[in-house]
Structure 1
Amino acid sequence: MSAWGLRDFRLLWGGRAVSLLGSWLLVVAVPAHVYAVTGSVVATGLALAAEHLPALLLGVWAGMVVDRWDRRRVMVVADLVRAGAVAGMVVGTPAAIYAAVVVESAGAVAFRPAAQAFVPAVVGVGERLTSANSWNAATDGVVRLVGPPLGGVLLLWAGFEALVVVDVASYLVSAGAIALTRARSVAEAAKPGLREGIRVLAGVPVARVLLPLSGVFLAANASLSAVLVPFGVRELGGAAQVGVVLSALGIGFLAGAVVNRWVGRVQPRTVLAVAQLGVAAGFVGLFTAGGTVGAAGAAVVVGVCGSVALVVPQTVLQRVVPNGFLGRIGAVFLVVEAFATVVGAVAGPLIAEGTSVRTAAFVAAGVTAAGAVAGAVATPRVMLPANGQTIRKVAR
């Protein structure tokens, strides 16, 4: 069954797609701008670290808000906050960009768990949920494919300020689309406190295992993301070449959306292990490539496997956790993601400057591979969809 037949999902998907495109137009422009102004790999990595600081400070609180309030309203307000924050980037200084990134991320801290909880409320937890997450993964792929090179062209043609304006407009469009969806209640959250959310998380074995494993994977991924732009500028030839590599990642993510539909009935621990090993191999290939073509080919592999490695845990959580608790548990995962990303965003550039970018890549690939093996052993089996539904089992 396809989620596309549901009006509210189409509106939610459309708003998300537009705002993602606006954000990806700045994926190359922001770090390239910071690197051009400062000449520092560490300063460039700090831009990525700043993005995840609010999740560390606000993540759990935001999850409780999401489970108590109308999630549609939370997403609309978050989009408006993000639009205002991005507008502040027109100042152009590194300090202004760091501040804008922090505030924009604060909006994302509320938006992401709200969206994760709102999707299964709209489409259910059966086959339509797999369809919805596959649609979102395909959108990620298209945006990754189109956004970076388009952003590079607009940066050269219209300047950094024009890209900022486009991103602001994208958040406003997203807010309007989501406002048109129908509100859903969160009646399952009879006890909306943090303690109750932790109790539910502790009672879901697969969630307990996925939490640290996701952190390890995301830390390694962030360490390489933080050095990708400087690597592309130094080794591949410039920002245009970085845009090609990021577009190749988008092609991989687009292909990964198809794979996600195909692996929906395979045990998640098997899928995750294979996907993370594929990401590790792709990273090694990317950072040892002799040119843009080789790097782009490796990036496709990273995109395919990375898409699966990110979507599968999300789908598992949406199925095994009661919807009234998804905001809190999603926020806990967001906090772990933020902490892991900050660690990776700082560690990657420090290793690269102390040794080399390739050494940092080998370290991150090794960590990713070790996490894949650990996950294959430690992740418990889960009940897979039968007749379009999954039975949720949660400790009482």
Structure 2
Amino acid sequence: MGAWGIRDFRLLWGGRAVSQLGSWLLVVAVPAHVYAVTGSVFATGLTLAAEYLPALVLGPVAGVLVDRWDRRRVMVAADLLRAAAVAVMLLGSPAAIYAAVVAESVGAVLFRPAAQAHVPAVVGTGPALAGANSWNAATDGVVGLVGPPLGGLLFAWAGFEVLVVLDVVSYLLSAVAISLTRKRPVVAQERSGSRAGIEALRELPLVRALLPLSAVFLAANAALSALLVPFGVRHLGGSAQVGIVLSALGLGFLGGAVLVRWLDRAQPRTVLAAAQLGTAAGFAGLFGARDLLAAVVAAVVIGVFGSVTVVTPKIAVQRLVPNHLLGRISALFLVAEAAATLAGAVMGPLLAEAVSLRFAAMTAAAVAAAGALVGAVTVPRVVLPAKRSNEQLGAAPLPGARRPPGRPAGHDAPA
């Protein structure tokens, strides 16, 4: 049975899609509102810092809690927390918005590792897992493509308060959908402490290698994302052309979501290295483009290979990490993502100001390509664990749960 044939996955997917759309509607509206109130670029930029700070501070703690608690309840509670936090934005003041963004991000820090750990428990670790991640990646592409421009239009037409109410409603709908899923038994080992998560990271070479490589790629991606708008305005003709390029990125991301399913069960290091090199080539092509057509083609390439680059580590982690430790391992990736995104978003523009925009973009593309080559050498080959259905995951110990230390499921394959 594919992922879409599982009722609980449909509910999880629906709740996630609705809440994501609500959040993306505010991506433009929140900074635009803060800028309209304060007139300060610095005050507007603080909204980004407020969004990523909780992930950096609370990520590892959140992962431990997610593995100890009922993940279904964690996701419902996180959605309710985020709904209440966003409602505070109705006060309108910058201080209220900063506080709301921080509180909303705390909810996201709990929700994301809980959701990533819960998906394998719902669909199993067989082909349905790749299908589930493919559906989620496709949804990310569509929502990321539609949400910001739609939010900008609604902000201009209906005002900030209407968008806030829509986001609150989206979180409440997500909480209802997740609460309708079936409660699943908690494995006794899920009560293990944080030390077990550290040991799991040490004993799974693939996961240990993927963590820094993912961070390097995300830092390069953040740097290039920060440079895209000024590049488009200077070299492609203006904001309308930037919108076309963003649409091409979204289109490519949807194609990559389909490609992920075809690459299922291939060696992660091979898929990841090829996808990262393809993404780096797309970056170089985009920022070296002399006309809009070349930029659009490059953007589609970035979207396709970038989607595979983001989803491949997620599937590998979900398959290889014992489910009772998956929440805290997922949280470590969330912390790395937040740190890398902040670093890239700062370093890219700084290098562009110090040298040139094209030089900064090509440097970031070169970093992404170097990460791919390093990964091709350092990421170990693995023996993928046997496929298990969602019922098997709920009824039996997970791969690696009772193996002797030093030989967990998915350990390095013999040379």
Question: Does the alignment reach a TM-score above 0.5?
Answer: yes
1:144 to 2:144 alignment: yes
| Cα separation, 2, equivalents of 1:153 and 1:281 | 33
Residue by residue over 1:290-311, the C-alpha shift from the partner in whole angstroms, topping out at 9 and shown as x without a partner, is: 4555433322221111110111
1:111 to 2:114 alignment: no
**Cα offset for 1:204?**
0.6
**Cα offset for 1:95?**
5.2
Residue by residue over 1:129-159, the C-alpha shift from the partner in whole angstroms, topping out at 9 and shown as x without a partner, is: 1111111112112222322332233233223
Alignment of 1:276-291 (within 5 A): 276-290=276-290
Q: Which residue number corresponds to residue 311 of structure 1?
A: 311
**Cα offset for 1:366?**
1.3
**Cα offset for 1:367?**
1.0
Distance 1:229 1:78, change over 3 A: farther
Alignment of 1:30-109 (within 5 A): 30-31=30-31, 40=41, 46-90=46-90, 96-109=96-109
Q: Which residue number corresponds to residue 339 of structure 1?
A: 339
| Cα separation, 2, equivalents of 1:395 and 1:290 | 58
Q: For the pair shown, which has the larger CA radius of gyration, 1 or 2?
A: 2
| Cα separation, 1, equivalents of 2:45 and 2:234 | 16
Alignment of 1:297-376 (within 5 A): 297-376=297-376
Give the 3-state SS of the residue equivalent to 1:189 in structure 2.
helix
Residue by residue over 1:213-232, the C-alpha shift from the partner in whole angstroms, topping out at 9 and shown as x without a partner, is: 11111111122233434544
Please say which of residues 175-184 and 275-284 is displaced more in the overlay.
275-284
Alignment of 1:122-141 (within 5 A): 122-141=122-141
| Cα separation, 2, equivalents of 1:88 and 1:355 | 42
| Cα separation, 1, equivalents of 2:306 and 2:34 | 26
**Cα offset for 1:236?**
5.0
Distance 1:163 1:116, change over 3 A: same
Is the Cα–Cα contact under 8 Å of residues 63 and 332 in structure 1 kept in the other structure? Answer: yes
Q: TM-score by structure 2 length?
A: 0.86
1:200 to 2:200 alignment: yes
Q: Number of aligned residue pairs: give it.
A: 395
Segments of 5+ residues of structure 1 without an aligned counterpart are: none
Q: Which residue number corresponds to residue 411 of structure 2?
A: none
Aligned residue identity for 1:6: I
Residue by residue over 1:57-107, the C-alpha shift from the partner in whole angstroms, topping out at 9 and shown as x without a partner, is: 101110111011111111111112222333344455665544433222111
Is the Cα–Cα contact under 8 Å of residues 46 and 346 in structure 1 kept in the other structure? Answer: no
Residue by residue over 1:195-217, the C-alpha shift from the partner in whole angstroms, topping out at 9 and shown as x without a partner, is: 11101111111011011111111
Segments of 5+ residues of structure 2 without an aligned counterpart are: 406-415
| Cα separation, 2, equivalents of 1:61 and 1:239 | 41
Is the Cα–Cα contact under 8 Å of residues 149 and 247 in structure 1 kept in the other structure? Answer: no
Please say which of residues 221-230 and 91-100 is displaced more in the overlay.
91-100
Give the 3-state SS of the residue equivalent to 1:153 in structure 2.
helix
Distance 1:92 1:356, change over 3 A: farther
| Cα separation, 2, equivalents of 1:353 and 1:380 | 39
Distance 1:159 1:117, change over 3 A: same
Distance 1:13 1:365, change over 3 A: same
Please say which of residues 299-308 and 200-209 is displaced more in the overlay.
299-308
| Cα separation, 1, equivalents of 2:145 and 2:68 | 37
| Cα separation, 2, equivalents of 1:200 and 1:348 | 34
Aligned residue identity for 1:105: S
